[in-house]
Amino acid sequence: MNALRATERRNPRTASIDLASPLEIVDVINAEDSRVPEAVASQREQVARAIEIAERSFRAGGRLFYVGAGTSGRLGVLDASECPPTFGTDPEMVQGIIAGGLPALTRSQEGAEDVAENGAREMDARGVGEKDFVLGIAASGTTPYVHAALRRAAELGASTGIVSCSDPPGDVVAGLDIAILPIVGPEVVTGSTRLKAGTATKLVLNLITTGAMIRLGKTYGNLMVDLRATNNKLKDRSERIIIEVCGVSRHEARELLAAADASVKTAIVMQKLEVTRDQALAALDRANGVIRRAVPDAPPPVIE
């Protein structure tokens, strides 16, 4: 069975890589990696559908869960953990679940992916329900832990999908709302899905959460306006965004942020509409959180 998986086949283009020089290794791997964006682009409609499902879940008060094992699980946890600082989201909104739990993030727990019942138990433990979206990540398409989690999530009424770089079993796909399958072909090192499959997975997850967050109004144009200023770099970025968008001084930007309870988005609406924080929040609520629909001005043009 393993020989049939796209991720387990041998790559004829790298059969002699063990005799390659360092520069030749770089060139061969770069050439293989160049195939990844095309594979991801082939799934553009499916990814867009996943963005729609995620946005719908978030607007209903639901959550996005990534479920995976090994590299796939780590990539889900990574994407989930980057949403709060980037988009100011509650950590509960996007969650990464990895077979083997937290220890598997830093030390391989290879047998954990075969314990199917643990995947189902995680769905119960997290209180998964009809408002949620559970997205399984399985490079090979055959991970028992992920399959069990998806079956249980569907039983609980959640929307479900899978990201895989091989074709999953037909009965698994039949029970899902969406299947995203960027087939990148055999790896440089046979079966090492931390390579092309991992890169493709990272691109897909980036697309889904970034797309959903943009739809929720987490950006103004391409400016990050719902970031959480948890360090000096992000505080500086918040102030610079206010300066650029509102045409104010650094001092005025700091005063606006203080009055807006450190929310860049709220500060922009307050300044543009000349209203209080509460009035700005009400305006954003009417606009479904999208600044462009709450204020008359477009973002400042990009100066190249």
Question: H/E/C letters for each residue in 144-156?
Answer: HHHHHHHHHHHHC
CA torsion sign for 279, 280, 284, 287 is positive
Q: How far apart are CA 217 and CA 150, in angstroms?
A: 29
| Residues belonging to the chain | 304
Q: In 10 A of CB 179, how many CB atoms? A: 21
Q: Could you tell me the two tokens for 290?
A: 């999208």
Question: Who contacts 60 (Cβ-Cβ below 8 Å, separation ≥6)?
Answer: 131
Full pLDDT tens readout for the chain, 304 residues: 444 577 888 898 999 999 999 999 999 999 999 999 999 999 999 999 999 999 999 999 999 999 999 999 999 999 999 999 889 899 999 999 999 999 898 888 777 887 888 999 999 999 999 999 999 999 999 899 999 999 999 999 999 999 999 999 999 999 999 999 999 999 999 988 999 999 999 999 999 999 999 999 999 999 999 876 778 888 899 999 999 999 999 999 999 999 999 899 999 999 999 999 999 999 999 999 999 999 988 888 887 7
Which of these is catalytic: 82, 244, 252, 255?
Answer: 82
Contact 271, 256 (CB under 8 A): yes
On the 0-12 / 13-18 / 19+ scale of CB atoms within 10 A, 143 is buried
Q: Does domain 222-294 have CATH number 3.40.190.10?
A: no
End-to-end alpha-carbon separation of the chain, Å? 53
Q: Could you tell me the two tokens for 218?
A: 């987490």
Under DSSP, is residue 80 helix (H, G, I), strand (E, B) or coil?
helix
Question: Who contacts 191 (Cβ-Cβ below 8 Å, separation ≥6)?
Answer: 7, 8
- Domain chopping of the chain, boundaries: 2-215, 222-294
What is the DSSP annotation of 201-254?
HHHHHHHHHHHHHHHTT-EETTEE-S----SHHHHHHHHHHHHHHH---HHHHH
SS3 helix, strand, coil % of the chain, rounded to 5?
Answer: 55, 10, 35
Q: How far apart are CA 115 and CA 143, in angstroms?
A: 9
Which of these is catalytic: 113, 122, 187, 239?
Answer: 113
Classified by CATH at the fold level, domain 2-215 comes out as Rossmann fold (3.40.50)
pLDDT score for 2: 42
Q: Known catalytic residue: 252?
A: no
Q: How far apart are CA 230 and CA 249, in angstroms?
A: 22
Hey, do 2-215 and 222-294 end up sharing a CATH topology, with the first three levels equal?
A: no
Under DSSP, is residue 17 helix (H, G, I), strand (E, B) or coil?
helix
Tokens 């990148």 belong to residue:
184
Q: Known catalytic residue: 274?
A: no
Buried-state track 1-31, b at ≥16 Cβ within 10 A, e below 16 = eeeebbbbbebeebeeeeeeeeeeeeebbee
pLDDT score for 156: 98
